[in-house]
């Protein structure tokens, strides 16, 4: 039974190649010849347009739209829910990091965490002590990062696109904003 399920899952993954994702543009963007801002533009894709997602390189994703192929910023596209990969990045990562069948969560004994449970929660000192024991020091974290080949770089914080979106009015999250 389990074997059949695994085999089925495997078939599903094989049958859904990483490059077959379909997506929708969530903002207007130039279709460029290469995965850099300096690459020549070969056209423009509008918000709402359907695209075929082909590849990823850094912050860029290659798409096909109306017969033309080019690169757009990865945050300009969202993939459709039907894609097995779930999203542009997920779909593109399928080749290297396939979903692990052993990580399918068992349906039985589902444990939620609703408002009522949170409201009636009682302080648990033992768990807090346990949490303390796992804390990582600066030196420990830095050693971990070295082992993982991670190097810190300078990146400035990003401000909101427009001040109107922050704070007071949130009735129109982003939909009607004109692109710029």
Q: How far is the CB of 126 from another protein (least distance, A)?
A: 9
Among 6, 36, 41, 46, binds another protein (CB under 8 A): 36
Q: Tell whether residue 55 is a contact of another protein (CB under 8 A).
A: no
Q: Tell whether residue 177 is a contact of another protein (CB under 8 A).
A: yes
SS3 string, the chain, reads CHHHHHHHHHHHHHCCCHHHCEEEECCCEEEECCCCCCCCEEEEECCCCEEEEEEEECCEEEEEECCEEEEEEHHHEEECCCCCCCCHHHHHHCCCCCCCHHHCCCCCCCCCCCHHHHHCCCCCHHHHHHHHHCCCCHHHHHHHHHHCCCCCCCCCCCCCCCHHHCCCCCCCCCCCCCCC
Considering only residues 140 to 159 of the shown chain, the ones binding another protein according to CB under 8 A are 140-142, 144-145, 148-159
**CB nearer another protein, residue 67 or residue 111:** 111
Among 18, 27, 62, 63, binds another protein (CB under 8 A): 27
- Please report, for residues 48, 89, 169, the alpha-carbon distance to residue 175 in angstroms, rounded to integers and kept in the order given: 11, 22, 14
Q: How far is the CB of 121 from another protein (least distance, A)?
A: 4
Q: How far is the CB of 122 from another protein (least distance, A)?
A: 4
Size of site (CB under 8 A) for another protein:
81
Considering only residues 83 to 142 of the shown chain, the ones binding another protein according to CB under 8 A are 86-90, 93, 96-97, 99-100, 102-103, 105, 110-115, 117-125, 127-128, 130-132, 134-138, 140-142
Among 58, 67, 70, 71, binds another protein (CB under 8 A): 58
């Amino acid at each position: 039974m389990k074997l059949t399920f695994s085999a089925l899952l495997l078939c599903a993954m094989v049958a859904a190649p990483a490059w077959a994702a379909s997506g929708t543009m969530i903002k207007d963007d130039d279709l460029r010849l290469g995965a850099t801002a300096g690459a020549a533009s070969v056209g423009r894709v509008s918000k709402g347009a359907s695209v075929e997602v082909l590849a990823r390189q850094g912050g860029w994703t290659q798409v096909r739209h109306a017969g033309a192929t080019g690169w757009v910023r990865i945050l300009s596209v969202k993939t459709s829910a039907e894609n097995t990969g779930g999203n542009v990045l997920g779909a593109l990562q399928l080749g290297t990091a396939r979903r692990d069948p052993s990580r399918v969560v068992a349906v039985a004994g589902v444990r939620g965490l609703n408002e009522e449970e949170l409201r009636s929660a009682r302080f648990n000192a033992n768990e807090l002590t346990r949490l303390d024991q796992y804390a990582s020091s600066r030196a420990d974290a830095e050693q971990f990062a070295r082992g993982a080949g991670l190097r810190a770089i300078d990146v400035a914080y990003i401000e909101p696109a427009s001040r109107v979106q922050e704070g007071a009015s949130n009735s129109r999250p982003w939909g009607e904003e004109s692109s710029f």
